[in-house]
Amino acid sequence: MPLDPYLAGRVRGIPTDPSWNADRSDPDNAPIYAEFFTDPAPYELPVSVDIRDDVVFGPHGPVPVRIYRAVDAIGLVPALLWNHGGGFAGGDLDMNESHVASAELAARSGALVVSVGYRLATDGVRYPVPLDDVEAAWLWLVASAAGLGVDSRRIAIGGGSAGANLAAATVVRLRNNASPLPTMMLLAYPALHFPLPALEDDVQAVMATLPQVLRASAAAVTAMFANYAGRISDLPAEVTPGHADLRKFPATRILISEYDDFRPSGELFAEQLAEVGVPVETRLSTGMLHGHLNRTPALPEVSRSLDYFAAAFAPTVNSAPSSHE
């Protein structure tokens, strides 16, 4: 289908001139981005979720986490360690992809959700520091399961974009170290390969009409991985999990944005998991751009995407619209 009609209307407000200074910190651009990120209706966090901040400690010091628990949860509940995106160099616990997504997933699934404020690849910070932080949060969640009222047999890991990379990379590390593995992965529009696989022609035709600021050009992807890893050659599997040995990975759900330069990475990863016998399902979020969980459930397709992940915690999970058996 074409780009979601509501998003298409918002996209028209973004300059298409390649020379436009798209810096989001530029005050002159604030109205443009505010208009683009305005959703169809006001949003309020679910009142059925209790939210509190905490800190865990890893090899680089304290790591902030935010814990979301459904107030009517009874008995031991499943849990999800969630990691926001932002190209490894941006994002925080307050962004929609972290705060709104975590609150909604807790409310919709009954799972306890722990969002991780890992260190960003800025000011000289590089791999493996962000990954070390996520691993520290994972090991803390596993060790604290009883005290948090969590069923230790049902702890998942996930994230969006670069956060999905960190989730998958954590599994690579845990598997290699014989550490406790998640029972499930939930990956939203993941960035798992470098270089990225190519888009299909029909998707590329739509992507070519979008303003450059909404694209992940080859140069931008190269810069993202170079900034994170400090190089673009001889990258370890913890940086590009799509090039790892994926055997013994947990069952995985992958959410794919239809119009997204990272779409082929998620689709290829699903094929790779299926090839080695890992149960994997995918859902194509129709009409959506990369990072659509940074919007709110006021946009219907965002709500459906959240339901897709929340349903993974149900005792019996129905088949997704698109799956790799």
Please give the positions annotated as active site: 161, 260, 290
Single out the residue of 5, 8, 4, 14 nearest to residue 35, CA to CA: 14
φ and ψ of 151, to 5 deg: -75, 110
Residue by residue, what is the 3-state secondary structure of the chain? Answer: CCCCHHHHHHHCCCCCCCCCCCCCCCHHHHHHHHHHCCCCCCCCCCCCEEEEEEEEEECCEEEEEEEEEECCCCCCEEEEEEECCCCCCCCCCCCCCCHHHHHHHHHHHCCEEEEECCCCCCCCCCCCHHHHHHHHHHHHHHHCHHHHCEEEEEEEEEEECHHHHHHHHHHHHHHHCCCCCCCEEEEECCCCCCCCCCCCHHHHHHHCCCCHHHCCCHHHHHHHHHHHHCCCCCCCCCCCHHHCCCCCCCEEEEEEEEECCCHHHHHHHHHHHHHCCCCEEEEEEEEEECCHHHCCCCCHHHHHHHHHHHHHHCCCCCCCCEEEC
Interior/surface letters 271-299, b for 16+ CB within 10 angstroms, e for the rest? ebbbeeebebbbbbbbbbbbbbbbbbbeb
